[in-house]
Amino acid sequence: MPELNERLQSGVFDANPRLLSGNAACRRLVAALPSAVLLVDAQGKILLANAKAAELLERGQEELETLNVAEVVAPLTELFQEASPALSHRVISPSGQERYLGCRVALAERVMTEDSSPKYLVVFDDETSWVRLQSERDQLLRLAAMGEVLPSVLHELKNPLAAVTALVEVLLEESPEGALRDDLHAIIGELRRMRLTMDGVGTLGAKLASGRFQAIDLALEETCRVLHRTAVTAGVELTHEIQSMPLLALESSVVRAMLFNLIQNAIQASPSGSTIRVRGGLSGSWLEFSVQDRGHGMAPEVLARCRELFFTTKARGSGIGLSLCAQICNDAGGELRIESAPGQGTLVTVRVPARSRIQTRPPQTP
């Protein structure tokens, strides 16, 4: 049997007629092969299928033998290409699961079934993990390349953005109440949202711990205020309860970027009319902030993978944001906890160690 399988993998099958004399013998032979195998005729109609093929294609063997290979993998003319003996085909199973099958087609010579027309063996294996690994490798390479140029690009963008923001703030102070003032407020909000987005992109490889003590409570409050308009546009109420905190040895831009990402996710997951609650404060020597929504929630299998880099259920999602937040927390010695259930919404909590510097009044001179 190993010799027979080796000949199958080489793309040529010239079986002994005594082994294949009759349908029952064919079935026993196909069933014994370690790979998933379909025996098809010249039109692609499936004549025999082994148990491994039924398992990968999520169909019964009897059901498969009523179908054409084009209905479950790809047309035979596409599969049978001598110039390319190993092809990977994307297949959506009846349960909706995406698989990639590495296929080979072998001419089964002298197969004695009901007629003497040509028969073909379609041999395939599940290469989904390998294809996904290659895809993630390519995305990581692109991400690494982007990380090389991002600092200089962000620097070039942040300087003019800061200048425009300062100019609009001056105009806002000098403008009387009215439509122009409202428009300037809207512009300021969008400029600040742009800065938060840049901070989020700039967290690639950033560290949360800082050698400087910064006002993290103000950073959390500012992020909530900036995203208030985005939430209102989506028909969602955004509330926040941020405790007053001493200066902390944390990077405020990274904290803003993390909270920005979590709130954006919550807004996208929330139905109109629902509420998102943001809380933040110190718990002993730990900084904690959380975002809770009443959206669709996550199924257990999605919850198990949501921290994976590039994993996303959104049509235009990158699968980077939540993974980066989790990595930043881990690097800082903290954790990112996610509690979610279908129909119950999602609660994401960031918990990281934080050194504080309590401000005291200077001693008074007599």
The tokens of 117 are what?
A: 């027309």
pLDDT at 16 over 60: no
Say which DSSP state 112 is in: B
The predicted-structure confidence for 174-198, as pLDDT tens digits, reads as follows 788 878 878 887 887 778 777 776 6
Listed residue (224, 356, 240, 360) closest to 287, CA to CA: 356
Listed residue (326, 347, 321, 358) closest to 208, CA to CA: 326
Beta-bridged to residue 286, according to DSSP, are: 283, 353
Listed residue (275, 268, 252, 279) closest to 196, CA to CA: 252
Q: What percent of the chain has pLDDT over 70?
A: 73
* pTM for the model: 0.54
Tell me if 2-126 shares its fold with 207-358.
Answer: no
Supply the pLDDT for residue 305.
84
Q: How far apart are CA 352 and CA 220, in angstroms?
A: 14
CA-based end-to-end distance of the chain: 100
Tell me the three state secondary structure of residue 230.
helix
Asked which of 80-89, 103-112, 292-301 is least confident by mean pLDDT, the reply is: 80-89
Supply the pLDDT for residue 7.
46
Cα–Cα–Cα angle for 66, 71, 73, rounded to 5 degrees: 115
Q: In the predicted model, what is the mean pLDDT of residues 313-333?
A: 78
Residue position matching structure tokens 């010249």: 42
Q: Highest mean pLDDT range out of 5-14, 139-148, 298-307?
A: 298-307
Supply the pLDDT for residue 218.
93
CATH value of 2-126 in 3.40.190.10, 3.30.450.20, 3.30.70.260, 3.40.50.150 = 3.30.450.20
pLDDT at 349 over 90: yes
Residues contacting residue 36 through CB under 8 Å, at least 6 positions apart: 50, 52, 53, 55, 56, 57, 101, 123, 124, 125, 126
Q: Where are the beta strands (DSSP E) in the chain?
A: 12-14, 36-41, 46-49, 87-92, 98-109, 119-126, 209-214, 237-242, 247-250, 275-283, 286-293, 335-341, 345-353, 356-357
pLDDT at 320 over 70: yes
Residue position matching structure tokens 């590495």: 102
Domain boundaries, the chain: 2-126, 130-202, 207-358
Q: Which phi-psi region, left, alpha or beta, contains residue 93 (left: φ > 0; alpha: ψ -120 to 50)?
A: beta
Q: How far apart are CA 337 and CA 335, in angstroms?
A: 6
Supply the pLDDT for residue 224.
92
CATH value of 207-358 in 3.30.565.10, 3.40.50.12500, 3.40.220.10, 3.40.50.1100 = 3.30.565.10
The predicted-structure confidence for 45-89, as pLDDT tens digits, reads as follows 888 888 888 888 888 888 888 888 888 888 877 776 644 445 577
Task: Work out the pLDDT band at 262, boundaries 50, 70, 90.
Answer: very high
Supply the pLDDT for residue 362.
43
Supply the pLDDT for residue 358.
62
Supply the pLDDT for residue 82.
46
Q: How far apart are CA 270 and CA 284, in angstroms?
A: 32
